[in-house]
């Protein structure tokens, strides 16, 4: 007798969730989105999928990745979802009272979810690394551009602030000094004379 993989056993590292309290149909709707994706892409899809089965399936995926790292020593960056499927589980039968003494049957379906991850081929691994490096370069370019814009704005604000402060502080002082100089020279501002001087000027104007 030989021992090894079963005829229906798929190669890879697996994780299972048994007796999940949702139907296999709902699980398959989510599993179809991540089949063949890398672990990072599958995790991002499950995180932003608004379905009730996405959170339990994400936990199964993380468990499969942890099993691959612990048992086989494979890093998460080298893994992809090679297979994922959901099998029917036992159906829990419940009843709800209806009219005329009847009862309506409620079927609470369960399923068994399996996620299998495998190592990427060397060619696919090189492609994924090139993609990640390009994403990193684009991120660095955007970050450096944002830093340049922020520094230019700060330098512009710093250049404008001393000029405004100087204008606000100097103008009243210069005006006061000009008035004092005019008074010292004997010049009076229009309308600043005494009442007698103004009446004399008015009389001369009438004559």
Answer yes or no: do 98 and 155 share one domain.
Answer: no
Answer yes or no: do 76 and 157 share one domain.
Answer: no
Number of domains in the chain: 2
Among 16-25, 105-114, 120-129, 189-198, which is the least confidently predicted range? 189-198
Ordered DSSP codes for 131-196: HHHHHHHHHHHHHHHHHHHHHHHHHHHHHHHHHHHHHHHHHHHHHHHHHHHHHHHT---TT-S-HH
Q: What secondary structure letter does DSSP report for 91?
A: P
Q: What secondary structure letter does DSSP report for 38?
A: B
- Residue 202 is assigned to a structural domain of this protein: no
Asked if residue 169 has pLDDT above 50, the reply is no
Burial label for 157, CB within 10 Å (0-12, 13-18, 19+), is exposed
- Residue 89 is assigned to a structural domain of this protein: yes
pTM of the full structure: 0.60
Answer yes or no: do 116 and 27 share one domain.
Answer: yes
Provide the domain limits for residue 46. Answer: 13-120
Answer yes or no: do 116 and 140 share one domain.
Answer: no
pLDDT digits (tens, 9 = 90+) for 6-42: 545 678 899 999 999 999 999 999 999 999 999 999 9
Domain harbouring 36, CATH code: 3.90.470.10
Answer yes or no: do 92 and 126 share one domain.
Answer: no
- Residue 148 is assigned to a structural domain of this protein: yes
When mean pLDDT is compared over 73-77, 82-86, 159-163, 177-181, the highest value belongs to 82-86
The answer to whether 81 touches 61, Cβ cutoff 8 Å, is: yes
CA separation for the pair 54, 123 (Å, rounded) = 30
Higher pLDDT: 206 or 86? It is 86
- Residue 191 is assigned to a structural domain of this protein: no
Answer yes or no: do 108 and 56 share one domain.
Answer: yes
pLDDT digits (tens, 9 = 90+) for 173-192: 666 676 677 666 665 555 55
């Amino acid at each position: 007798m030989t021992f090894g993989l079963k005829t229906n056993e798929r190669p890879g590292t697996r994780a299972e969730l048994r007796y999940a309290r949702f139907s296999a149909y709902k699980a398959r709707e989510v599993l179809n989105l991540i089949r063949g994706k890398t672990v990072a892409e599958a995790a991002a899809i499950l995180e932003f999928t608004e379905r009730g089965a996405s959170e339990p399936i994400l936990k199964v995926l993380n468990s499969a990745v942890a099993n691959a790292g612990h048992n086989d020593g494979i890093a998460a960056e080298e893994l992809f979802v090679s297979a994922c499927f959901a099998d029917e589980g036992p159906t829990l039968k419940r009843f709800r009272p209806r009219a005329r003494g009847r009862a309506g049957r409620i079927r609470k379906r369960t399923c068994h979810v399996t996620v299998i991850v495998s190592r990427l081929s060397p060619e696919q691994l090189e492609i994924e690394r090139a993609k990640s490096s390009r994403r990193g370069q684009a991120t660095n370019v955007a970050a450096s551009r944002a830093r340049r814009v922020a520094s230019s704005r700060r330098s512009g604000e710093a250049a404008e602030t001393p000029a405004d402060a100087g204008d606000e502080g100097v103008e009243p002082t210069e005006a006061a000094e000009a008035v004092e100089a005019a008074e010292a020279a004997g010049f009076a501002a229009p309308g600043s004379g005494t009442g007698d001087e103004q009446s004399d000027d008015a009389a001369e104007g009438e004559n």
